[in-house]
Amino acid sequence: MSDLRGGIDLGGTKIQTAVIDTDGSVKGEARRATPTEGTPADVATAMSEALVEAAKAAGVESADLQGVGVGSPGDADEKTGVVSGARNLPGWEGSFPLGETLAKELGTTVRIGNDVQVATEAEFHLGAGKPYDSLIGVFWGTGVGGGLMLGDKPWLGRGAAGEIGHMVIKRDGAKCPCGRHGCMEAYAGRKAMEDEARRRHEHGHKTDLFKLMKKHDKPRLTSSIWAHAIDHGDKVATHLIERAIEALGTGIASAVNLLDPEAIIIGGGLGLRFGERYMDDLLEEMRKHVFSETMPDVKMASLGDLGGAVGASLLVSH
C-alpha cells in the first residue's frame, strides 16, 4: 500500500478528483463532467473512473490508496456513507449508498463528508484561511454553499449549518431552485442565473448566452460561457452577474453581522472565475450592510479548483 490518499469533489457541474501525498501535494488529478441524466449509480461510476485515472497519473492503483474521501452535496451521512437529497444531481432525490458503492469499485476505504465543509476545512488548514481563527467559506457555483470555522473548529450545528445560500436577502423575492423565495442562491446560484437568463431570453431580451452554450457544446451555462458572454458585452449576462454580486454581498454581510468572523473565503466555480474581477463591487455591497466598523478580510480560495478534492482527501486519516 502507498501512503497516498484520494479525494473526490462531487459538484453539480463536474467531478474533480485528486491523489495527494502526506504533505498535501497533489500527485495526480482527473475530472469528469457530472452526468446530467441517469441515476446515482451512473454518477458513482463517473466518480470512480475519474479517481482511477487520477491514481494512474500518480503511478498507483486505486486499491493501493490509504483511502478515498468524498465531498458530497445533499445530506451526506459520515457514519453510513449514504447520501440523500442531492437535488442538483440526476435522480438523487432519495438515498444512495455512495460510500459502499465506491468502496467496492475502488477496492479501498471510502469516507463521505459534506462538499462545502471539506472545502472550507481545506482552505482553513492548507489554503487562504491559514492566518485566521474564524472564517466563513462561501462556495459560489451551481448553488451557493457555506462552511463555518469558528474558534479553530468547524461549526456544524445539528448537522445542517452553513446554508448561507438560503439566507433570505429579499423577503417575497425571486423563487429559488430550493422552492423557497428570496434566498441568496435565487439570485446568485449558477442554476438560478441560468433559469433567469432563459426567462429573459424567452421574453425577447437579446443575449448570446444560449448560442455560446450550443457553440461550445455545453449542457448548461458554465462559468466559462458566462465569462465569454460578459467579455463580449452581453447585457443580460452582465446584468445577471452584477445582480448575483449584489446578492452575495448582501447575504455575506448578513452572515458577518451575525458571526463577526475574521475572514470570508470565496471559492466555487463562479467564485473562482469572477471573485477577483468583481471583488471591489462585492466589498462595496458588503460595506452597505455590515454593522460593525471592522470589515472582515475577504480572500479568494487559494487551493482553486482542487480545494474540494484536497479537502475530501483530509477525511481519510493517516
Site string for its own copies, 180-209 (x = CB under 8 A): xxxx--------------------------
Q: Which stretch binds its own copies (CB under 8 A): 57-65, 147-155, 200-208, 304-312?
A: 147-155
- Residues with Cβ within 8 Å of 314's Cβ and at least 6 positions away in sequence, in order, are 7, 69, 118, 121, 122, 125
Question: d(Cα 67, Cα 201) in Å, to the nearest integer?
Answer: 47
Q: How many residues bind its own copies (CB under 8 A)?
A: 46
Question: d(Cα 113, Cα 159) in Å, to the nearest integer?
Answer: 11
3-state DSSP call for residue 7?
A: strand
Our finding on whether 158 is near its own copies (CB under 8 A) is yes
Find where cell 492566518 sits.
131
Question: d(Cα 92, Cα 130) in Å, to the nearest integer?
Answer: 35
Q: Shortest approach of its own copies to residue 293 CB, angstroms? A: 8
Question: d(Cα 19, Cα 309) in Å, to the nearest integer?
Answer: 8
Among residues 195, 83, 97, the alpha carbon closest in space to that of 143 is found at 195
Find where cell 434566498 sits.
183
C-beta atoms surrounding 87 within 10 Å: 14
Our finding on whether 114 is near its own copies (CB under 8 A) is no
Our finding on whether 94 is near its own copies (CB under 8 A) is no
Instruction: Name which of residues 256 to 315 contact its own copies (CB under 8 A).
Output: 257-262, 288-289, 291-292, 294
Which is nearer to its own copies, 28 or 189 (by Cβ)?
189
Find where cell 479553530 sits.
152
Which is nearer to its own copies, 76 or 213 (by Cβ)?
76
Site string for its own copies, 224-263 (x = CB under 8 A): ----------------------xx--xx-xxx-xxxxxx-
Site string for its own copies, 159-178 (x = CB under 8 A): xxxxxx-xxxxxx-x----x
Q: Shortest approach of its own copies to residue 35 CB, angstroms? A: 25
Question: d(Cα 86, Cα 231) in Å, to the nearest integer?
Answer: 33
Binding site for its own copies (CB under 8 A): 134, 146, 148, 150-151, 153, 155-164, 166-171, 173, 178, 180-183, 246-247, 250-251, 253-255, 257-262, 288-289, 291-292, 294
